């Protein structure tokens, strides 16, 4: 929320005398997050051999026009997960359908509105199996989840529903959180998993610029934060906070309004969440804040499997 500021200008006296003007304050320079060099080995000394990138693109076609794929080519992940694609499969840009680097491409869209929600997963190596949704029609019709099974792990990409303006979907979001956690726990019983995507919650006050002004806003309500608490209590780990527990000013989303990104007035809404069995294989969890093309920035995970 934007706070009002008192004028620092001088006030004229009634008799024409003037008070000495206070020197105007220089605007404080924003504190930006600098992504440190990638760590490419795990705690037990193994070298990273799996690189996953996740990005909420806020409209796939617009993101392609903004040269998002140029950044992907430079980053060169083994798997690319996208959220909020807002695009029916028949309308996908040729620039992305013809990507030879990722021969295995999977798309999920909302049943009733292809311009709403939507996720994608692009893989260099073919998964053993790919499924869509979490097995509950009330959630799956919105095209929010793709799960890929690989030999050593599951990869789940998700675009978690927003509680909405005025919190009109908060009750639905609470139901989603419960059902989604149950789904993830079921997978975790079979083999370890990586969850990535826009989870639409800033978990702790450190995860957004203005926590005090947002406690009643979607993404930072007690109910949504509690939902994430329960996910972690079920045996999962926020990879970024595992490695960087006290890192401030590390955000992945900035509204387009009021120059928020330039001022780094943001939220950390995008995550890599890991099963406990993958913690020793964790090398690094990155926030690529300089990558443009959306109101979110991409995040990247390095694992040594």
Respond yes or no: is residue 302 known to be catalytic: no
Q: Is 264 annotated as a binding residue?
A: no
**Contact between 195 and 276 (Cβ < 8 Å):** no
The response to whether 205 counts as a known ligand-binding position is no
- Is 200 annotated as a binding-site member? yes
CB 218 within 8 A of CB 200: yes
Give the DSSP letter of residue 12. B
Tell me: is residue 217 an annotated ligand-binding position. no
Residue-level length of the chain: 305
Q: Crossing angle of helices 170-188/222-233, nearest 10°? A: 10
Catalytic residue among 198, 207, 238, 270: 198
Q: Is 148 helix (H, G, I), strand (E, B) or coil?
A: strand
- 159 a catalytic residue: yes
Q: What is the dihedral of CA 272, 276, 279, 281, to 10 degrees?
A: -100
CB-based contact 223:170 (threshold 8 Å) = yes
Whether residue 203 lies in the annotated active site:
no
Of 102, 106, 159, 183, catalytic = 159
The response to whether 295 counts as a known ligand-binding position is yes
Feature table: binding site: 56, 84, 198, 200, 295-296
Feature table: binding site for Mg(2+): 56, 84, 198, 200, 295-296
Q: Which amino acids are annotated catalytic? A: 159, 198, 296
């Amino acid at each position: 929320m934007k706070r009002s500021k008192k004028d620092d200008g001088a006030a004229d006296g009634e008799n024409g005398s003037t008070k000495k003007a206070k020197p105007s304050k220089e605007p404080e320079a924003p504190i930006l997050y600098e992504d440190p060099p990638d760590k490419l080995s795990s705690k037990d000394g193994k070298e990273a051999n799996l690189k996953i990138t996740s990005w909420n693109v806020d409209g796939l076609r617009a993101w392609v026009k903004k040269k998002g794929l140029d950044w992907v080519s430079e980053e060169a992940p083994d798997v690319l997960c996208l959220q909020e694609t807002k695009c029916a499969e028949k309308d996908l840009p040729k620039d992305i359908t013809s990507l030879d680097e990722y021969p295995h491409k999977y798309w999920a869209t909302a049943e009733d509105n292809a311009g709403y929600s939507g996720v994608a997963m692009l893989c260099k190596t073919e998964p053993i199996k790919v499924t869509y949704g979490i097995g509950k029609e009330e959630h799956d019709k919105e095209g929010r989840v793709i799960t890929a099974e690989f030999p050593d792990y599951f990869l789940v990409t998700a675009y978690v529903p927003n509680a909405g303006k005025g919190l009109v979907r908060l009750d639905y979001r609470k139901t989603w959180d419960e059902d989604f956690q149950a789904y993830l726990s079921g997978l975790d019983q079979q083999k370890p998993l990586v969850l990535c995507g826009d989870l639409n919650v800033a978990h702790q006050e450190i995860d957004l610029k203005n926590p005090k002004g947002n406690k009643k806003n979607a993404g930072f309500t007690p109910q949504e934060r509690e939902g994430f608490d329960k996910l972690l209590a079920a045996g999962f780990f926020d990879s970024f906070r595992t490695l960087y527990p006290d890192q401030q000013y590390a955000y992945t989303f900035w509204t387009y309004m009021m120059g928020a990104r330039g001022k780094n007035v943001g939220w950390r809404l995008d995550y890599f969440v890991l099963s406990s069995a993958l913690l020793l294989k964790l090398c690094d969890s990155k926030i690529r804040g300089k990558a443009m093309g959306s109101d979110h920035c991409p995040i990247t995970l390095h694992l040594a499997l």
